[in-house]
Each structure stands twice: as structure tokens, then as C-alpha cells.
Amino acid sequence: MTSATLAPVSESATLPLTLLSEDETMMRDTVRRFAQDRIAPLTHSMDEAQKIDPALVQELFAMGLMGIEIPTRFGGSGSSFFDAIMVIEEISRVDPAVGVLVDVQNTLTANALLRWATEAQKQRYLPQIATGTICSYALSEASSGSDAFALATTAQLDGDSYLLNGRKLWISNAGEAGLFIVFASVDREAGYKGITAFLVTRDTPGFSVGKKEDKLGIRASSTCELLLDNCRVSADNILGPIGKGYQIAIETLNEGRIGIAAQMLGLADGALAHALRYTKERTQFGKSVSQFQAVQFTLAEMATEIEAARLMVYNAARLKMAGKSFVKEAAMAKLFTSNVAEKVASLAVELFGGYGFVKDYPVEKLYRDAKIGKIYEGTSNMQLATIAKLLLSA
């Protein structure tokens, strides 16, 4: 490994401090130091092994980063949605694969439980996912990608339980998760009104984790299929009302898109930080390449687009926290940041020259990681459709 691989990205190229309170600034700085000191040295090896270091996962729990919004009475940090978004951004500056682990735990699964779980379910599961249990969100199937509600997985009532049958695909965190939010239909003829969410533990009979996908990017993050074969789940483990799974999915995915936007923002900012450092160090024709105007203009354009992306992400998060409408802004933030991440990571590779094309240097990985931003938790086309719909209905 070269020194460039583990070189710090502690200095953000663009960060409007006026957007952060004193407490938020302290949290950001703490997470940034942790990411640089503990995650950065493992990033390359985890990407090669396609697995997040289990010891690192435990540190994330110990830091309180896996239950950011969970109240302290359940063992969580009792913090805010904005803090969760900021944590995802900071971790993703170093490793977007770890960033999505934290993202799914906080913006999808914990939020779903906080909003829809019964008190008994909260008492049972929130302390687990705040302190040591990874949670996964199982919605996607072979026939239901962008059409998320074309579910084939069924849930048939059998006494005081439901028998779940089906197959879920592309499920993030599935390799490590101990708890899954599984969406299935109790009445396929009712369409989306039959979709119901179930809390399924990994040791439930009839439930198994199948093939792990061999991915282009975020390779350390596990993405697996789930197999349900007469998986018996107690009616007590229904999350929210029967037939309201579609509403749970819509609400959580709207918030989750801000999390993915934060992941892509962090990725872009990390790529720019690497590019800034490298162009200052690299010499050609007797001077650093950062002194060439073409390079300077490229860096300036990267920084400007990252700044715009950050404002969009933070705005969407603040709107959500204020209880105001944020769906359009969340879609815009995810659309824009995924474009920016792919562009900035690509330009960073070019600025590194031949070194940017090899795995010994960090920008190659960030370039691979960036592509998923336009695909998961709603493709870019779906974000455009959402934005257009809300504009035209205003």
C-alpha cells in the first residue's frame, strides 16, 4: 500500500460552518476523527475482502452511531435526524460502504420502528439495534425495483401467525443483520393495500440469507438475497397496521433518500480532498500540477458543485426536522448529489492520472462506489418523476 491510500481527508474542501450549531460542529469533528483514525486504515482491505470488519461494527455501536435518533431510554444517542445525515456524510468521505451501513440502520430501519412500532416492539427491538444488532430493510424483489409495490412475497394467516413465502433481492446489510423489516402482501388482489411490514429475526425458522452479490462498488457493504420458505412470524411482529406497509415504505424511503444524498455528498467531498492534496504534491514540468490553470478550474468546478450539493442535502434534512414538506427537496438532493458524486469522482481519477486508475490510490474506489447513488433507494429517473409530479401538482 502506498502512503496516498491512507493519507488523511480530514480537511473538507468546502464546509459552510454557519450551517452547523456548536453541538453539530463538535459531533462532526468527532466523527471525522473517528473515520480517519479507525475506518481509513481498513478501507482498502475491507473492499478487497468484501466485508466490513466486525470489530469496526462494534466500534460504530460503541460510538452511538448506529442508533442516533433512538431515545436514550432505549440505549440510543437521543440525537436528531440532521445529526444522522451529518454522520453519514462524514463516514462516507472515508468509506461510502461503511456510510451505507450506518445509513440503512438509521434513516430506514430505526426510523420505521420509532414511528410505527408498538410500545412492546420498541421495548424489545430498539435496545438491540441501538447497541449491537444490525437491522436490514427488505423491500426489493426481482419483479419490484422501481415499481416497489409489485411484490410477489406473500404472508398467509395461519392461526396467530403468518407464513411468509418469497424471495427478496439486493438487500443491504443482510449479511450482518440480526433483524429484518420484511414487506409482504397479505392480499395480492388488494394491490398495494395488501402490503404489510413484518419484523423478522435472523433465527426465525424458514428464513435464510442467500447469495451475496459481487458488486462494482461499496463492496464491503453486504447486499444479499433473502429466502422465505414458510417463514412463521407471529402476528405480534407486524409493524404498523395490516395493509399499511406501503405507507411505511414510502415514508421511510423519502427520508432514506436524504441519507443516500448525504452518502454521495461525503463521497464527492472525500474525492475532492484527495485531489486537492495530490495536485499540490504532484510535480510536472518543474512545478506542482495545481499551478496549472486547467487543473485549478477543474478543482474550482468540483468544489462549487459540492457546495451546492451540501446546501441541498442540509436543506432537505432541516425541512424534515421542522415537520415541513420535504419530499421534493429530498428527491432533488438525491438526484443532484448522485450526479455530483459520479462527476467529481471521475474528475479526481483524471487528476491523479495513471495513479488514479490503480487500486493503490483511493480515488479508484470512490469512482466505483459513486455509481450506486443513481440506482438504489429510487433511480435518478424515479427522482425526476417525483420532482415533476410535485411541481405540476403545486
Question: Annotated active-site positions, please?
Answer: 377
Euclidean distance between CA atoms 155 and 166, whole angstroms: 9
239 to 190, 206, 235, 277, 335: CA distances (angstroms): 19, 19, 9, 48, 30
Q: What type of residue sits at position 12? A: S
- The closest of 359, 375, 345 to 257, measured between CA atoms, is 375
Q: 195 in the Ramachandran plot: left (φ > 0), alpha (ψ -120 to 50) or beta?
A: beta
CB hemisphere CA count around 89 (13 angstroms): 30
219 to 50, 52, 97, 102, 161: CA distances (angstroms): 5, 9, 7, 15, 36
User: Could you say which DSSP state residue 115 is in?
Assistant: H
- Contact (CB, 8 A) for 340 and 309: yes
Residue with cell 499551478: 291
